[in-house]
A and B are shown apart, each in its own frame.
Chain A
Amino acid sequence: MEKQQPSHAALSEQFNADEARVDWHDETLWWVRQKRDKAAWTLPEWEQLRENASRIKQHTLTNLHGYLLDFERQAQRNGVIVHWAKDGDEHNAIVHGILQQHGADRIVKSKSMLTEECHLNKYLESKGIDVVDTDLGEHIVQLARETPSHIVLPCIHKKKEEIGEIFHRFLGTPKGNADPEFLTHAARLHLREKFLSGRVAITGVNFAVAETGEFVVCTNEGNADMGAHLADVHIACMGIEKVIPQRGHLGVFLRLLARSATGQPVTTYCSHFSKPQAGQEIHLVLVDNQRSTQLGRDDFRSSLKCIRCGACMNTCPVYRRSGGHSYHTAIAGPIGAILAPNLDMRDHADLPFASTLCGSCSNVCPVKIDIHTQLYKWRQVVTAEGYGDKSKTLPMKMMAAMLATPLLYRWAGKLGRWVMRYLPAIVSNRFNPWYKHREMPDAPKHSFGEWYRKNRS
């Protein structure tokens, strides 16, 4: 039998074992959320900007077929080679095919959540390809044989001393040196070699413009450009929802993206790739991987508006205290929890429950996705489909039966009060999940009904 994936709750429990670390993680992400607020407040028109971004995406999704055709035609006119992949496997095979065609056994990679979603690294490694992640955070988690725990801050879960240790082991930096500036410089020197000798580079795509066929890649480090411009072949991978109608719309999205992500007014580099440079090839892989299915779900369609800023993670009280890996999916946090059930409902049935439904995610989302409403709606769907947590569905059914039967309800209330007064150990023990991190209340002497009959009737 296939090994069962531990649930979000189980993985969070592991993360929560080290309380000091949880506090540190929580505070670091909240600090990023506060930077986002300060950046947003510099623009009086911020809310209108969010509204317009949301409307542009809505319009695009309702006309996606036409915009995809426009984009393909323009990109081809620009000399870009366009590929279509129905799922992750096909995407990976296309990338591998291009590598084989060029006789390359190494690929220089910048950040792309899509390739994480498709598990490209694992696939290529199984084919004997050396994959070099060049974003500093992704390089660190790659060396540690882990996956990113955050879409913008891939190694936010790691302390600098741990990173120093990883660099000591793999890059030969002095033991015990955990200075971020020193370590970043060591990575710079190490990865320059890789950029200079790389023949095939892969990048993600932040926005693809239907009108012009160009695509925009945003980074702070400059790694996407170092890879792409120094390689003979540039492969850019994008989900089909990354298309926007016009170049002018980039103004709206670039104003929102970095401010929402890290509180910067804009990323250091916003590179607009249109045509390959002389002697180079640009391949563009358009990936569906069930986005077209999500497009057909009225309640969940707007999740495809996401521009991958990570603001919903930074603000989420559950994400901040459970860590990205507890979501066991490439995209963690609230947005991941509404995207993942579309990919595999059974494996990700627990994720819509990893939320307090406080709504903070929806409030910061730059494209106004109603994330917390969708989390709530996914709960209905996964439960109706039979993927609900059995330890919850059975008690819920019993509870429903009891609440629907007045006699049973009154009897259960009496029993509960009696037990809590005279035998509290029956409920206040570690086998009762409700008791974890909670004090049980003192049992009242009588029910409200009894009190009312005595005092008011």
Chain B
Amino acid sequence: MNNKSRENILRAVKRNQPPAEDLVLGEQLPAIRYDDVEAEFIRTLHSIGGTCHLVTGVSGISSALTGNFETGGRWVTTVPGLPAIPRADPLADPHGLENIEVAIVEGDFGVAENGTVWIKETSLAIRVLPFICQHLVLVLPRQQLVHNMHEAYDRIGSAEYGFGLFIAGPSKTADIEQSLVLGAHGARTMTVLLLDQ
């Protein structure tokens, strides 16, 4: 049944599709760029419910963490050089992460136009980690900011990955009378630590 449907669908598509048209994009888009890409990133991130702190070095990360999160509960990290926090085990059962309070993950780069951060699968250890934790912290080198999504995909290029993810702020919903509520199913807060090395 499956194979027959495949052939039938492809045949119908081929028969019904109009003559092929080349892809000619309009005038090269002067996609938006900002005078101060970092300021714009921070502004946008705040507007979508995220938080941002500028930190210097590993000690800056540690003090930002202890200063902003209660130390009780289970923490894990995938960021190297944070000895006090247990490393996430890529081979662990993802269901066992249910009680994670804070997860600290490395961001690859941020996008100023929408406050989103690209995270590589290798930085996640386990795919569900940034969703299942209560609080998500992304460590992002402050030089790693692009202006818009076109630059973002130029930067990703043809990288091979099993999974890749843009995260923009905490999990949210407005399904009840359009009232915005942070913390739907994923992390309830999202903090970016912009790292000055």
Q: Which positions in A face B, CB cutoff 8 Å?
A: 28, 31-32, 42-45, 48-49, 51-52, 55-56, 58-59, 61-65, 68-69, 78, 83-86, 90, 94, 134-137, 140, 153-156, 158-160, 163, 180-181, 183-185, 188, 191-192, 195-196, 212, 214, 220-223, 225-226, 229-230, 240, 245, 247-248, 250-252, 254-255, 262, 264-277, 286, 288, 292-293, 295-296, 298, 301
Contacts and interface: CB of A to CB of B under 8 A. Distances in A.
30 contacts: A48-B27, A55-B24, A59-B23, A61-B18, A62-B18, A62-B20, A68-B10, A83-B2, A86-B5, A155-B175, A156-B178, A158-B177, A180-B181, A183-B176, A184-B184, A192-B98, A220-B171, A226-B185, A230-B128, A247-B153, A247-B156, A265-B114, A266-B149, A268-B168, A272-B164, A275-B163, A277-B162, A277-B163, A296-B15, A296-B17
B154 A86 contact: no
Given A222-B131, A230-B128, A48 B175 contact: no
Contact of A64 (B13, B131, B172): B13
Closest 8 A-B residue pairs measured CB to CB? A222-B186, A296-B16, A221-B184, A265-B114, A137-B175, A229-B128, A292-B12, A275-B162
B163 A271 contact: yes
Contact of B185 (A28, A221, A267): A221
A266 B175 contact: no
B152 to A, nearest CB: 6
Given A247-B158, A251-B150, A272 B163 contact: yes
B75 to A, nearest CB: 19
Contacts of A135: 175
B187 interface: yes
Given A43-B32, A251-B152, A265 B186 contact: no
Given A78-B162, A295-B13, 19 more contacts: A32-B178, A42-B113, A45-B29, A61-B18, A64-B13, A86-B8, A90-B1, A195-B185, A226-B128, A229-B131, A247-B158, A251-B148, A255-B113, A255-B149, A264-B48, A270-B116, A272-B165, A292-B9, A293-B16
Given A226-B186, A229-B94, A268 B24 contact: no
Residue of A94, A180, A220, A276 contacting most chain B CB atoms (<10 Å): A220
B177 A160 contact: yes
Contacts of B176: 136, 140, 155, 160, 163, 180, 183-184
A89 B118 CA distance: 38
A250 B156 CA distance: 11
Contact of B17 (A64, A229, A288): A64
B142 interface: no
Contacts of A63: 17, 20-21
A261 to B, nearest CB: 11
Contacts of A191: 185
A225 B21 contact: no
Contacts, number: 252
B82 interface: no
Contacts of B185: 134, 188, 191-192, 195, 221-223, 226
A68 B16 CA distance: 14
A61 B17 contact: yes
A270 B165 contact: yes
Given A184-B184, A226-B131, A255-B149, A69 B10 contact: yes
Nearest to A44: B32
B112 to A, nearest CB: 10
B175 A268 contact: no
A145 B24 CA distance: 47
A286 to B, nearest CB: 7
B104 interface: no
B69 interface: no
